[in-house]
Amino acid sequence: MIRDRLYHDMTNRGVTGWLMAALLTAFYVVLYFTEALTPWAQRVGLSSKWDLYGVLYTVAIVGGGLAVMRKYGHNRYQVIRTSVVMFVQVVFAFSIPQMLKAMHQPELYLSYFWPLKFDYGNPEYLAQQPMWFIVYSIAGGLVLVPLAGAFFGKRWYCSWVCGCGGLANTFGEPWRHLSDKSTAAWKFEKVSVYSVLGISLALTGILVYSWTTGSKAPVVVEFQSWYGLIVGSVLSGVVGVGLYPLGGTRVWCRFFCPMAALLGITQRAGKRFHIRVKEDMCISCGLCSKYCEMGIDVRAYAQMNESFTRASCVGCGVCSEVCPRGVLRLESESGLVQITVGR
């Protein structure tokens, strides 16, 4: 059927896949680097292009989320996780900031933390915010996020709360299998993601220093604006989402996100979250690897009977969902309770 063929083409780097990538990339270039979307926003009664983007983003997560819940409807983990992702987007990443703005308060996003939202760790920016938010941000970014990462794995953030992960796991679902599974990609990932983390830590350190000393050198200003341009706009937006139809949905999360890198470290160090492999049941079919959005070669562990924790694993649970022999199980000891449900 023509519909099936088109879908296949779009989700397997066919002509329509490339077209889609071009379209998404173009959208982000226009959004970040021009004002062309502003009149469109005003036409529908929104004050800026960013509000329009917020609406589109929320629609994409809710629409994609509903499709995912239909697809994995038999899997409680997926249904609950996807509901939470949609809820967080609608409430914390959209409604609350809009309400704050309507009340002439600073527009604050409670579901984002430093170092993903870089400003929330920048003292210069924080100092201008209400006290409760300063406490929330610092406690959240420095304590809550890593601690929860050590206990439950990074999934609690990356695939339950975060908006970038949220978009990937809803709107991006049809492209998840395009991630690169090669060892070479894994090597690149280790260099790139920890480099971005290093740079963002260094910049934060410099900004804290400048703020305490009260003088900010021009080169620091330059550094900061380059970081914003490259990491904030190009890598997370243009490359991160633009490349969905070519490189899979987690290009940003896997190769560049400093928060994912930090959480990955706590996930490994916490030694609680892991993917359990049922012994001698894997048939090496490879579905788990194919559908891993982070490009983890899950099969390589499963066929060796090795339960494992990988720093990059965002705990989306899809490997466990697609495994036809029920080999894989996400577990966090002392973590999420096993709830029995009858249906």
Partner 1 sequence: MHLVIVGNGVAGITAALAVRAKDAQAEITVISGEGEYFFSRTALMYAFMDQMQRRDLEPYERHVFREKRITLRRGWVTDLDAEGRCLSLADGVAVSYDKLLLATGSRGRRAEWERKLEGVVNFVTLQDLEACERLTPGTKRAVVAGGGLIGVELVECLVHHRVATTFLVREATYWPAALSPEEGEMVVAHIRAQGVDLRLATEVASLEGEGRVNGVVTTAGDKIGCEMVGVTIGVEPNVDWLRGVKTPPELGRGVVTDGGFRTSLPHVFAAGDVAEVNGQIEPLWYAAKRQGAAVARAILGETMEYGAPTYYNSAKFFHLEWTCAGETKGPGRFRKLPGRDASVRVLERDGIVTGFSMLGSRWNHRVLVKWLEERRKTEDVMGRLSEAQYDVEFGRVAL
**Chain contacts with ligand SF4 (rule: CB under 6 A):** 282-288, 298-299, 302, 323, 325, 327-328
The C-alpha atoms of residue 233 and residue 249 are separated, in whole angstroms, by 16
Q: Which is nearer to partner 1, 51 or 297 (CB)?
A: 297
Contact predicate 257/196, CB 8 Å: yes
Residue 298 binds: one of ligand SF4, partner 1, none (C-beta under 5 to 8 A by kind): ligand SF4
Can you say whether the dihedral through the CA atoms of 199, 202, 208, 209 is positive or negative?
negative
Among 285, 307, 308, 309, binds partner 1 (CB under 8 A): 285
Q: Please calculate the CA angle 309-310-312 and round it to the nearest 5 degrees.
A: 140
Q: Is 317 a binder of partner 1 (CB under 8 A)?
A: yes
Residue 340 binds: one of partner 1, ligand SF4, none (C-beta under 5 to 8 A by kind): partner 1
Residue 318 binds: one of partner 1, ligand SF4, none (C-beta under 5 to 8 A by kind): none
The C-alpha atoms of residue 60 and residue 76 are separated, in whole angstroms, by 22
Q: Which is nearer to ligand SF4, 49 or 299 (CB)?
A: 299
**Counting beta carbons within 10 angstroms of the beta carbon of residue 218, is it exposed (0 to 12), middle (13 to 18) or buried (19 or more)?**
exposed
Angle between helices 258-270 and 145-152 (to 10 degrees): 50
Shortest CB 321 distance to ligand SF4, Å: 10
Q: Please calculate the CA angle 289-291-294 and round it to the nearest 5 degrees.
A: 75
The C-alpha atoms of residue 97 and residue 301 are separated, in whole angstroms, by 43
Contact predicate 114/137, CB 8 Å: yes
Q: Alpha helices, DSSP H only, in 182-237? A: 183-213, 218-227
Q: Which is nearer to ligand SF4, 162 or 323 (CB)?
A: 323
Q: Which is nearer to partner 1, 131 or 341 (CB)?
A: 341
Q: Is 1 a binder of partner 1 (CB under 8 A)?
A: yes
Segment near partner 1 (CB under 8 A); pick from 45-53, 109-117, 193-201, 319-327 = 319-327
Q: Is 283 a binder of partner 1 (CB under 8 A)?
A: yes
Query: Which residues make up the interface to partner 1 (CB under 8 A)?
Result: 1, 4, 8, 12, 74-77, 80, 177, 182-183, 278-287, 289-290, 299-300, 303, 317, 320-321, 324-326, 329-331, 336, 338-343
